[in-house]
């Protein structure tokens, strides 16, 4: 390998260093670097003399440095190549003797040239230094040459890639310095930190105490990265050295909580750490303390008293909102006592800019906390819910408190969509929690609904009308929201409210809610369309089914039929079949059209639907239709039907059979027995068994063998053989195919009496693994495992 390298390297280096060549493609240079990395990773013993035996490498570097204006990409390549070569201490010494490293990475190199303005050159310099940082000589070379200052400056580089690489390089250098030069454990009182480590730590301390917010954040990022990646004992000592400085910071520092929470001392609950954390919660501003508080609440090993203090810090702005909105002695607030000065929070909430930012931050932290599967603390759900509703009332302009602070907050938050969205997000997160909150929400809704109904009972018609008018005004706005979740939730609320139909019919008809709800039948979001179908389907009971509006009812029936047959998503179609079933159960379809035609039309649409839940809903519709028809005609299923003579009963039986055939009920039922989705087949079989009980007492069932003598009997026998194939049946007979006439009452009566529905019922209710557990399946598995069936078949059986 070395001999091949020696032959190839001179040509590669000569081509790269030729000033007459145009700038090389960056991709090609990256491939060359990967190749050099592979060469240097073959082991020190085989490549000890790579640089000495190939002077073309040093000649290449020298020739690039001699160019008056080298290409930035070639110079960046050279810097990274030199770093790769210098990763070995022997090769480092050789390049040092040639004085190449100082010309590349020292003050006389690209640092003070115009090429340094190019981000690729700065990136190449950082990557080259990082590559060589594997031994003590490289560390000393950089520290002695002023490289530490350069790297700290690059932390604020305009290029995020360069800035990130510089921060990672400092972490690597600090770790290398401590772990390669330290011979005894360090302590906070020790002055024996290695020289390079001392330089880096001193620069961090200076940055933290500077007036530059950017320098503070850069140093905190550096420490955060260090504590997040290194768990050595010396990092605990460094953390304690830095802690006091960090707690004295008055600047707003986003990374402060990350620095604290990634500290290795979190893995040790002893010592003075928690005292320092408590001090931080007390002395940091609410904006600074918020991230630290939510981070502490996520920690499993955090002491309970610290956890309670963190929760108090987090809830303090919400407590202030409650107190500002409440009259004296009306509501005590969220907290019994405060961690920091309440006047500080009140001052922030009195300013427009700080009020919005503080509340948005607090609400975001609460949402984050509520997203945890197991909450580490018990939240005051009732008070928290009350504070959220208070914020929403402020945003909507529904609250005008008498207190000066409450009036100020009201003016700031009115129409503030940022805070409103954040509060709704927390409210949604609260709705996912079990226990006390669910009880509170249910009781709140029930109390509101009962209050509205109570107004009607007390003959407060004017007040009740005004209340519902206000509700519908809000609904009109929400139904037009650009957010589909809001439109969907509003429709669900409207549906839940419809149970008090008598109280708000007039308010509804005089509002735009009805029109807007109908428009949402064509919403682009399928969930919204489904909710709109459900809402308007329920609204039909107080609007379209009213005697004065039959024409509108027929039009609406056509619209839902259209959705059932054309909507591309399953949710709206399921909603339609559910509404049709409800209409039929309530006896409303007769006002739209003849019930028989209505059911027939729905069946012909549903039987071709690809969604099995829609087909199952169609079977439920059939079951209700059959039950109502039999009951109306006085057959035995209806417990309230008068006892009739045998002749009358036969006439009614024949009439109901004709109705079912005309509505194409049997076609759908028998076809469903072969449905590939088992619940559909099971439901169809149950319905057919129920119909047979109505038409055939047990003693009068037909003999299937004798029935085959007639033409209809032969077709029914063929149907039974097909049904036994279940979902594997192909070309199921429809529209009279194979002689089976599903609209012929005599044929269907014969089918009910001769087809073994009990056998089909047992087959459909078998578990899905009965085939795999059968002896035949076991023998097939054995033969397949043996592989040679011909030789082992007899022995196996």
To the nearest 10°, report the CA torsion of 427, 430, 431, 433. 180
The CA distances from residue 582 to 410, 558, 575, 589, in Å, are 46, 16, 11, 10
* Sequence-separated (6 or more) residues with CB below 8 Å from residue 83: 127, 128, 129, 130, 131, 132
- Is the per-residue pLDDT at 166 higher than 90? yes
For 321, the 3-state DSSP assignment is: helix
- Over residues 564-582, the mean pLDDT reads 92
Closest CA to 517 of 506, 504, 529, 532: 532
pLDDT digits (tens, 9 = 90+) for 585-643: 887 776 545 788 889 999 999 988 889 899 999 999 999 999 888 887 765 544 434 44
- Over residues 388-404, the mean pLDDT reads 84
pLDDT for the residue 702: 54
- Is the per-residue pLDDT at 439 higher than 50? no
DSSP H or E stretch at residue 328: none
120-124, 186-190, 434-438: which range is least confident on average? 434-438
The answer to whether 557 and 593 have CB atoms below 8 angstroms apart is: yes
Residue 98's pLDDT band (cuts 50, 70, 90):
confident
Alpha helix (H) ranges present in 41-118?
A: 44-47, 50-53, 55-66, 72-85, 89-97, 100-105
pLDDT for the residue 339: 62
pLDDT for the residue 43: 46
pLDDT for the residue 533: 93
- Over residues 528-548, the mean pLDDT reads 79
587 sits in the region (left: phi over 0; alpha: psi -120 to 50; else beta) called left
Q: Which two tokens stand for residue 48?
A: 């000890």
């Amino acid at each position: 390998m070395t001999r091949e390298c020696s032959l190839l390297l001179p040509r590669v280096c000569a081509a790269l260093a030729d000033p007459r060549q145009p700038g090389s493609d960056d991709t090609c240079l990256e491939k060359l670097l990967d190749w050099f990395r592979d060469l240097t990773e073959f082991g020190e013993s085989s490549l000890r003399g790579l640089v000495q035996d190939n002077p073309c490498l040093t000649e290449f570097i020298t020739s690039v440095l001699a160019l008056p204006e080298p290409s930035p990409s070639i110079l960046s390549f050279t810097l990274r190549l030199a770093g790769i070569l210098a990763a070995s201490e022997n090769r480092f010494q050789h390049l040092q003797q040639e004085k190449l490293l100082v010309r590349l990475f020292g003050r006389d190199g690209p640092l003070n040239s115009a090429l340094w303005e190019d981000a690729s050159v700065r990136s190449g310099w950082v990557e080259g230094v990082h590559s060589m940082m594997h031994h003590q000589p490289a560390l000393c070379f950089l520290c002695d040459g002023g490289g530490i200052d350069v790297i700290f400056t690059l932390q604020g580089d305009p290029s995020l890639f360069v800035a990130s690489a510089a921060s990672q390089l400092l972490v690597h250098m600090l770790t290398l310095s401590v772990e390669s030069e330290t011979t005894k454990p360090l302590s906070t009182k020790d002055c024996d930190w290695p020289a390079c480590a001392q330089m880096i730590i001193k620069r961090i301390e200076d940055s933290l105490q500077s007036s530059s917010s950017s320098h503070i954040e850069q140093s905190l990022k550096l420490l955060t990265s260090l504590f997040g990646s290194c768990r050595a004992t010396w990092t605990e000592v460094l953390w304690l050295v830095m802690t006091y400085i960090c707690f004295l910071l008055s600047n707003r520092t986003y990374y402060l909580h990350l620095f604290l929470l990634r500290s290795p001392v979190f893995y040790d609950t002893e010592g003075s750490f928690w005292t320092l954390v408590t001090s931080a919660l007390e002395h940091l501003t609410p904006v600074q303390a918020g991230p630290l508080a939510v981070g502490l609440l996520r920690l499993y090993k955090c002491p309970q008293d610290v956890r309670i203090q963190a929760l108090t810090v987090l809830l303090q702005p919400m407590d202030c909102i409650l107190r500002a909105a409440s009259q004296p002695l009306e509501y005590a607030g969220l907290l019994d006592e405060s961690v920091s000065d309440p006047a500080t929070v009140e001052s922030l909430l009195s300013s427009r800019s700080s009020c919005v930012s503080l509340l948005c931050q607090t609400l975001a932290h609460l949402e984050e906390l509520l997203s945890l599967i197991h909450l580490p603390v018990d939240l005051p759900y009732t008070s928290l819910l009350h504070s959220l509703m208070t914020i929403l009332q402020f945003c909507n302009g529904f609250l005008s408190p008498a207190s000066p602070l409450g009036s100020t907050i009201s003016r700031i938050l009115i129409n503030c969509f940022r805070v409103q969205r954040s509060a709704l997000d927390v409210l949604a997160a609260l709705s996912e929690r079990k226990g006390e909150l669910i009880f509170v929400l249910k009781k709140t809704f029930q109390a509101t609904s009962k209050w509205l109904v109570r107004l009607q009972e007390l003959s407060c018609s004017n007040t009740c009308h005004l209340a519902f008018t206000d509700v519908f005004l809000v609904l009109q706005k929400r139904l037009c929201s650009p957010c589909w979740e809001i439109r969907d939730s509003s429709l669900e609320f409207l549906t839940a409210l419809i149970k008090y139909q008598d109280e708000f019919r007039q308010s509804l008809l005089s509002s735009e809610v009805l029109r807007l709800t109908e428009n949402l039948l064509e919403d682009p979001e399928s969930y919204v369309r489904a909710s709109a179908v459900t809402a308007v389907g329920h609204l039909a009971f107080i609007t379209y089914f009213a005697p004065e509006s039959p024409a509108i009812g027929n039009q609406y029936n056509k619209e839902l039929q259209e959705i059932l047959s054309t909507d591309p998503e399953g949710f709206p179609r399921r909603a339609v079949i559910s509404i049709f079933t409800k209409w039929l159960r309530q006896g409303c379809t007769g006002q739209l059209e003849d019930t028989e035609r209505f059911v027939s039309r729905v069946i012909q649409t549903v039987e071709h639907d690809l969604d099995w839940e829609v087909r199952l809903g169609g079977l439920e519709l059939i079951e209700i239709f059959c039950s109502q028809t039999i009951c109306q005609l006085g057959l035995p299923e209806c417990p309230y039907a008068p006892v009739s003579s045998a002749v009358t009963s036969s006439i009614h039986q024949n009439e109901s059979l004709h109705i079912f055939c005309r509505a194409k009920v049997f076609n759908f039922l028998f076809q469903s027995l072969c449905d590939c989705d088992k619940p559909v087949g099971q439901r169809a079989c149950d319905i057919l068994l129920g119909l047979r009980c109505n038409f055939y007492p047990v003693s009068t069932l037909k003999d299937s063998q004798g029935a085959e003598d007639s033409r209809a009997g032969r077709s029914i026998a063929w149907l039974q053989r097909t049904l036994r194939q279940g979902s594997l049946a192909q070309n199921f007979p429809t529209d009279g195919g194979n002689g089976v006439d599903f609209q012929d009452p005599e044929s269907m009566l014969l089918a009910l009496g001769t087809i073994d529905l009990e056998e089909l019922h047992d087959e459909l209710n078998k578990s899905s693994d009965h085939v795999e557990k059968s002896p035949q399946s076991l023998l097939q598995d054995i033969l397949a495992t043996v592989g040679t069936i011909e030789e082992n078949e007899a022995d196996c059986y």
